[in-house]
Amino acid sequence: MSKILYISSEAFPFIKTGGLGDVAGSLPRALQKNKQDVRLLLPAYQEVLDKVKKQNCVAETFHYGQHIRILETFLPGTRVKTWLVDSPAVFDRPGNPYLDPEGEPWHDNAFRFALFAQCAVDIALNRCGLSWQPDVAHCNDWQSALVPALLDTFPQRPATVFTIHNLAYQGMFNSQTFFDLGLPAELWGMHGVEFHQHFSFIKGGLVFADRINTVSPNYAKEIQQPEFGYGLDGLLRHRKDRLSGIINGIDTDVWNPGTDKLLAKNYNRRTLADKSKNKTYLQKQLKLPAKAKTPLIGLVSRLVEQKGFDSILAAMETLLSLPLQIAILGSGEKVYETALLDWAKKYPQKLSVTIGYDETLSHQIEAGSDIYLMPSTFEPCGLNQLYSLRYGTLPVARNVGGLADTVIDTNEKSMANKTANGFIIDNDTPAALIAAVRRSLKFYKNISVWKQLQHNAMSPDRSWQASARQYIDLYEQAIADNPHPI
């Protein structure tokens, strides 16, 4: 059994903006089920504090002129002990954890997540009175990437693992910020956290962690190439013997069509007829004509370039000329929000667009749609295609990152060996997207073939169990690689 400090800037159901929230909300529990001693460390944002009944302060520390309390609670619905970094001036704000009300990064994000990292280091070194010494500090994305760097400046430290959930977000700030934060001078430089005269948080994880992983094997390969590497591909190639990919699991307590309380009607692969009740419910709710035979395409996403919205918008006119309906839920960049709403206004009988973040509707779209569209330009793992597969909603997805690892294109061979579970868009163009959608519609017409594809999609075990075991192996490797064990 290892002691794992799991450090994350979001965790469902406390707070979630994307895939990291889902992973941090479910992997710690899966590790615990596999007999690991796990503690989750999270900033005490306002939204998190609102969900904590009693504020139980178990430790205190002091950084950057701030008196910081460590509050102890449990991740709701679990026995995962969770420590919250409570620094009101820094985290007690309404809304998005990373963005201000205008959708811009909070002006003091470097300070906020440097403070978070300093507290994580205190706990990782067992020096704030919690009487618990982790064997591994597991850090996630740029918000906790300074932790491996800071820990490396100590003569003895726990092993460090750094998981890349999305390399596109790097936590880049000007070089002065590094010095303003009073970080150890030895961390500056190209072999440290300097990146082309800027201060890069993510390099703290990429350079200093004992082990690095990404959330799919394919993305682990892709980021070593210039096309997906954002200038960090050289560093990642340099560290390739320490870099691996572990596909995300899904939390089957939350995402299970058989028990999902947010659905109009539960179903499983043997009661697929009940899935259609969710379709009718969704159509009515979204004010689309309740036509059982018209294929309904769903999409739940952050509205950002990565998710393929340029191709979707360019293809929209053609898509809406096909015999289908589309249901989109998302929020993000204003240009996409406006353009999608304009299309919906023009085609209210075929396209429904809901702007916002809505956990309930996201489940209902997964269950009520026939097809799920995911034309991402890159996708580290992708969770929505996994939810879709579990819900018998066949993905039409790009062949990148984790999508390529999980969506098996429908062709003669994959149909014969019963692995076919979706439709691959083979390049980043509107034409390829349209071609893949057309192909899915052709198969949709054949009821028995479609049913078989749904069976193929719904049958595999996509829970965290297998991936949790891989993380446990990764922790053991990190412990073995740690040059400065405690």
Binding residues for ligand ADP (CB under 6 A): 18-19, 22, 166, 300-302, 329-331, 357-359, 362, 381-384
Nearest distance from residue 356's CB to ligand ADP, in Å?
Answer: 6
Nearest distance from residue 361's CB to ligand ADP, in Å?
Answer: 7
Do strands 172-174 and 198-200 pair parallel, antiparallel, or not at all (unpaired)?
Answer: antiparallel
Nearest distance from residue 302's CB to ligand ADP, in Å?
Answer: 5
Tell me whether residue 207 or residue 247 sits nearer to ligand ADP (CB atom): 247
Nearest distance from residue 248's CB to ligand ADP, in Å?
Answer: 7
Taken in order 90, 95, 100, 104, is the CA torsion positive or negative?
Answer: positive
Tell me whether residue 200 or residue 301 sits nearer to ligand ADP (CB atom): 301
C-beta separation of 85 from 43 below 8 A: yes
Count of CB atoms within 10 A of residue 274's CB?
17
Tell me whether residue 124 or residue 299 sits nearer to ligand ADP (CB atom): 299
Distance of CA 77 to the CA centre of its chain: 20
Nearest distance from residue 174's CB to ligand ADP, in Å?
Answer: 26
Q: DSSP states of 403-442 as a string?
A: HHHHPPB-SHHHHHTT---BEEE-SSSHHHHHHHHHHHHH
Tell me whether residue 303 or residue 432 sits nearer to ligand ADP (CB atom): 303
Nearest distance from residue 191's CB to ligand ADP, in Å?
Answer: 30
Give 251: exposed, middle or buried? Use CB within 10 Å, 0-12, 13-18, 19+: buried
Nearest distance from residue 122's CB to ligand ADP, in Å?
Answer: 29
At residue 237, the 3 state secondary structure works out as: helix
300: enclosing H helix or E strand: strand 296-303
Nearest distance from residue 257's CB to ligand ADP, in Å?
Answer: 14
At residue 103, the 3 state secondary structure works out as: coil
Instruction: Report the alpha-carbon distance of residue 224 to residue 221 in Å, rounded.
Output: 6
Dmax (CA) of the chain:
67
Count of CB atoms within 10 A of residue 78's CB?
17
Return the structure tokens found at 293: 């035979």
Nearest residue to ligand ADP, scored by beta-carbon proximity: 19
Tell me whether residue 188 or residue 357 sits nearer to ligand ADP (CB atom): 357
Tell me whether residue 44 or residue 383 sits nearer to ligand ADP (CB atom): 383
Tell me whether residue 13 or residue 88 sits nearer to ligand ADP (CB atom): 13
Residue 106: DSSP 8-state? P
Tell me whether residue 86 or residue 366 sits nearer to ligand ADP (CB atom): 366
Rounded to 5 degrees, φ, ψ at 192 are: -125, -130
